[in-house]
Amino acid sequence: MKFFVDTGDINEIRELCDTGLVDGVTTNPSLVASSGKDFKELIGDICTLTTGHVSAEVLATDYRTMLKEADVLSAIADNVCIKLPLTPDGLKACKVLSSNGIATNVTLCFSALQALLAAKAGATYVSPFIGRLDDIGQNGGDLIADIVTIYDNYEDYNTQILAASIRGPQHVLDAALSGAHVATLPPKILRQMSQHPLTDKGLAGFMKDWEQTGQSLL
C-alpha cells in the first residue's frame, strides 16, 4: 500500500518524506488556505520534496475552465496530479486529461457507482472519503470493499483506489485489508501508525538491561 501525506505544511512534508515512507502528497483548497501560501508556489515546493504524485485541485466547476486550470497546474512540475471533483464536468475533464497522459485524481467520491464512472473516465486515482461517510452513520470501509470488487471484475480498469478522509489508524488498516492501493492521511496519523505501548515497554526494558552491561557500540 502506498502512503500519501495529506497536508499543505511544507515542513511536515519534508520531515515525513525524509523517512522514506511517503509515496506522494495530496492537497485540497482547504489545506492550501490554511498554509497561507501562494497555491502555485506551494505545489512547486512540495514537488521538489517527492518524486511521487502531488495532487493539486482545480478550483473551477465547469469543464472548459477546469482544463485551463489543469494546464497551469501541470506546468508546475512533472509529478503534479490534477485533482478533479466527481461531477459530470469533472469526469469529462478527467477523460480528456487522462487521454493526454496527465495523471488525475477524482475526488469527493461517496459511492461505488461514482467510482465506476471515474474508472471509465480513465482516472489515475479515485478518492473515496471514508471518514465523511462514517460521520453520517454509513460504513466507509464497505465502500472501499465494493469499489475493489467492481475494479477486480474488469481487467481494463487501472484506476487506483485512494482511501481519503482518514480519521485514524483503524481506517488505514481497514482500507489495506479491503485492498485499497493508497491511503492519504494527515501527518499525525502516519506517526501514530508506528506507535504501540508494548513496543515502548519492550524498548525501555531492553535499554535498562543494556545499561547494566556497561558496554557501548561506539
188 is catalytic: no
Cell of 30: 482547504
Rounded Cα distance between 54 and 50, Å, is 8
Dihedrals phi, psi of 61, to nearest 5 degrees: -115, -5
What angle, 0 to 180 degrees and rounded to 10, lies between the N-to-C axes of helices 112-120 and 88-99? Answer: 30
Q: Is 142 left (phi over 0), alpha (psi -120 to 50) or beta?
A: alpha
Rounded Cα distance between 74 and 108, Å, is 21
Cell of 45: 515546493
CB 124 within 8 A of CB 149: no
What angle, 0 to 180 degrees and rounded to 10, lies between the N-to-C axes of helices 10-17 and 39-47? Answer: 10
Say which of 2, 37, 83, 95 is annotated catalytic.
83
At residue 152, the 3 state secondary structure works out as helix
Q: Which residues are catalytic?
A: 83
